Structure 1
């Protein structure tokens, strides 16, 4: 089955036509759909529950994915053939089985050699001529994508609860630890797991020493605390419980983590700040910014740097960084008379001029330099390792690559 066949799958058709809000979130967050063989679905009643069972989003644990209804799936890739198999994990009647389908009311025993096909929802939409989403490729950089995606009849779908009735409320409590704890306490069976988590955090704070080049290892240790908490609550393991526990963890340790990273990256921050000042004085000559863009008004993205500096929570810092990214692109588009911006390279059409990665990178360097942010390297390191969803989607991966390139440019001089 190739991507074109995947678009014709009853599961994908139902998702596209009957669950627009769920589709909207899945595209925005870079989910994948596990498409079963046609024979596995023959005679099955396609429903929302069946579709949610086959929608997968990546967790913080390598090779572990979550279905939209809270079950764990382990992705196993054969190094020789490159074939991907899905193994049942927590939440399934039998764990460790390779499966053709992920729905309890269908057969979930050991699969044939064909197995499930793991397909990117956004990639399939691009190839699907019946897609209700327009120009996905040219809007994938937009951090406000859910607000931009529209149905063919021009009406925007209402938000739809996803798995346990949660939508985007993580952003409401990740910066406020009181709200975070209040949410955690609302989870069934969270009392004892929360006490265990906070005990571990006290021990961690008293004994753990941050070291350079071990940032990801440190972050993974904290993710394991959050994972264990989510697994020990009364309900099924959920991403919301995991994210809440991770936010609570980072909120408690924020001062220690930030001060440690500041010490580790002080020399890089000084180099970056010096490079910013030099580039501002020379109007960023030598980095590839076309003179056509020097008169673009970047005041809106520059305003967001103040919020980036004032916000302490890594997830909220990520939101600020995404806003800076989006408003930079908006400013470019406005300055170039509604040019389209895409990560897929520069192309031109009769209707507009498309700005590709080669042009976007120097422009983003230009904006960062104008901000003269004093701890840009530390800030990005903090976000990269200790936020819960950077890189979890196509736009997240691109943003990571973009900022890493900016950092490299500033500190390598």
Structure 2
């Protein structure tokens, strides 16, 4: 039941309702030159022609991501090659064809697009699509299981490139035994180049079956993503680097996804611990305290909290990105449910300004571990051939949430590790005093009044006042006391560990406490300078 392309939109029930029953929405769409989506008449049967439905079909292009649009009520839609695909905020995923397009003009003679689509983006009748729709549904590769299903369905004859690549992946993890902070941007391209080469070799050795998946084609990204995810899952490594010859069935064997995640956890365990302390202080805060619309406090966000609770247990970065997508959809679903039950006004909307505070609120309530490590994983190791706009959107949300929580932790003075019972000398004592993050001075004093900004507020104390009231004459002088201490006071030895940002010096790599870690750091830096590493073909060529 697909509409004829000669349909007259002027008598289409959705267009008529938009112009006569909601002229303010039509005028705004024309003035702001929005994309107006009108479901064909045959598919609009049973569609509730209310204000919510009309707002869902008026789309504004995203200022950040090409091809991504946001409806007037906060839902996201991706437009690509004559198709509209629903993203966050919808109850189900739909791929809708654009049947034809018309150009209309507003009062200032500026054009705006009006498209007739094969079915509504939400609700209404779902007409039968052609065979291509079935093929597209089978080609989804948004999770590790979908990638495996897709790749195995190709029935490749020669998989020797993948077999050889497993050795290269093991050599990669053997070479980079630690991931130094601030240098992940140098490590990631080397690993991505390996997967690019494997995908190219598979296409050459299976030309008759993979002719349509060549680099630069429309299907390359989907094939490249599946190769990376499946190859990482099939490559087995020892959990501990010093272990050699561990059997495949041993419990100390992990796949490459898990190995990568463990490396990042080791590198950012300090940041993860500080975020966990911040979450403990923020647990009792409401959505209003994080900067969201106060009316949303009446919504039940148990759904997204449940999804985030076991987030850190997923080793594959693609599965993590898929979970974050489900969390965003669950947040929108929670608000829609509250609207249907009358707990919040019907005109309530979730825009991008509310989505991040609500996401941080759900993250705090769920309290998953290793939030910062997961943010680094999604930021640096989700290439999958080409990082699509939706994955980058969710990765950016998690990064923003992690940075906010880390900055919140920096406002809270942590107790010194020097106590008479532990015997830790003063020069090894470490506090969070003097830590300066980009754009956030250590001495900043947050306002007690709730800010009108949509960004989440930050919890903190006046460190100067705290120091005046708590410091004793016998306390060791820290790095923040240097500018205030006199000549006699500065004779004491300062802490040996310098606290800098992630872009700072080598001292910001973490606590290097023994010769073994120093040797591993040296090996890491030498590996970055090296031009020759094993590849899937066994020859030493630059990644």
Q: TM-score range by the shorter chain?
A: 0.5 to 0.7
User: Measured at CA, do residues 176 and 266 of structure 1 come closer, stay the same or move farther in structure 2, by a change above 3 Å?
Assistant: farther
Match of 1:398 among 393, 399, 409: 393
Q: Does 1:287 align with 2:290?
A: yes
User: Within 5 A, what are the aligned runs for 1:154-193?
Assistant: 154-156=125-127, 158=129, 161=132, 167-171=138-142, 174-175=144-145, 179=148, 183=152, 186-188=155-157, 190-193=158-161
User: Contact 1:272–1:376 (CA<8 Å) still a contact in 2?
Assistant: yes
Which residue number in structure 1 is paired with residue 35 of structure 2?
127
Match of 1:203 among 167, 171, 175: 171
Which residue number in structure 2 is paired with residue 212 of structure 1?
181
SS in structure 2 at match of 1:368: helix
Match of 1:243 among 208, 213, 225: 225
Q: For residue 247 of structure 1, report the CA deviation from its aligned partner.
A: 0.6
**Deviations 1:353-376, CA, capped at 9 Å, x for gaps:** 333222222222111110011211
User: Measured at CA, do residues 213 and 180 of structure 1 come closer, stay the same or move farther in structure 2, by a change above 3 Å?
Assistant: farther
Which residue number in structure 2 is paired with residue 364 of structure 1?
359
Q: For residue 265 of structure 1, report the CA deviation from its aligned partner.
A: 1.3
Match of 1:231 among 179, 200, 213: 200
Measure, in 1, the Cα distance between the counterparts of 2:297 and 2:385: 30
User: Measured at CA, do residues 310 and 293 of structure 1 come closer, stay the same or move farther in structure 2, by a change above 3 Å?
Assistant: same
Measure, in 2, the Cα distance between the counterparts of 1:164 and 1:219: 33
**Number of residue pairs the alignment of both structures matches:** 279
Q: For residue 140 of structure 1, report the CA deviation from its aligned partner.
A: 0.9
User: Measured at CA, do residues 170 and 296 of structure 1 come closer, stay the same or move farther in structure 2, by a change above 3 Å?
Assistant: same
Q: For residue 330 of structure 1, report the CA deviation from its aligned partner.
A: 1.4
**Deviations 1:320-340, CA, capped at 9 Å, x for gaps:** 11111110121123224599x
SS in structure 1 at match of 2:291: coil
Which residue number in structure 2 is paired with residue 119 of structure 1?
none
Q: For residue 254 of structure 1, report the CA deviation from its aligned partner.
A: 1.9
User: Measured at CA, do residues 239 and 375 of structure 1 come closer, stay the same or move farther in structure 2, by a change above 3 Å?
Assistant: same
Match of 2:337 among 319, 327, 334: 334
SS in structure 2 at match of 1:354: coil
**Deviations 1:17-65, CA, capped at 9 Å, x for gaps:** 7xxxxxxxxxxxxxxxxxxxxxxxxxxxxxxxxxxxxxxxxxxxxxxxx
User: Within 5 A, what are the aligned runs for 1:137-148?
Assistant: 137-138=70-71, 139-140=75-76, 142-143=87-88, 146-147=93-94
User: Measured at CA, do residues 242 and 283 of structure 1 come closer, stay the same or move farther in structure 2, by a change above 3 Å?
Assistant: same
Which residue number in structure 2 is paired with residue 50 of structure 1?
none
Q: For residue 223 of structure 1, report the CA deviation from its aligned partner.
A: 2.0
Q: For residue 175 of structure 1, report the CA deviation from its aligned partner.
A: 4.7
- TM-score, normalised on structure 1? 0.57
Larger radius of gyration: 2
Q: For residue 408 of structure 1, report the CA deviation from its aligned partner.
A: 1.6
SS in structure 2 at match of 1:146: coil
The CA RMSD measured in Å over matched residues stands at 3.9
Measure, in 2, the Cα distance between the counterparts of 1:220 and 1:157: 43
Measure, in 2, the Cα distance between the counterparts of 1:213 and 1:296: 39
Q: For residue 180 of structure 1, report the CA deviation from its aligned partner.
A: 6.9
**Deviations 1:203-249, CA, capped at 9 Å, x for gaps:** 21222232222334333322222211121122332334312221134
User: Contact 2:288–2:297 (CA<8 Å) still a contact in 1?
Assistant: no
What are the ranges of 5 or more consecutive residues in structure 1 without an aligned counterpart? 1-15, 18-124, 340-349
Q: For residue 182 of structure 1, report the CA deviation from its aligned partner.
A: 7.0
Q: Does 1:325 align with 2:331?
A: no
- TM-score, normalised on structure 2? 0.44
What are the ranges of 5 or more consecutive residues in structure 2 without an aligned counterpart? 6-32, 41-55, 60-69, 78-86, 97-117, 215-219, 236-255, 409-543
Q: For residue 166 of structure 1, report the CA deviation from its aligned partner.
A: 8.0
User: Within 5 A, what are the aligned runs for 1:50-69?
Assistant: none
**Deviations 1:160-216, CA, capped at 9 Å, x for gaps:** 5589988435356x2599x4797288224x323223312211221222232222334
User: Measured at CA, do residues 302 and 286 of structure 1 come closer, stay the same or move farther in structure 2, by a change above 3 Å?
Assistant: closer
User: Measured at CA, do residues 397 and 242 of structure 1 come closer, stay the same or move farther in structure 2, by a change above 3 Å?
Assistant: closer
User: Measured at CA, do residues 352 and 394 of structure 1 come closer, stay the same or move farther in structure 2, by a change above 3 Å?
Assistant: farther
Q: Does 1:276 align with 2:199?
A: no
User: Measured at CA, do residues 160 and 216 of structure 1 come closer, stay the same or move farther in structure 2, by a change above 3 Å?
Assistant: farther
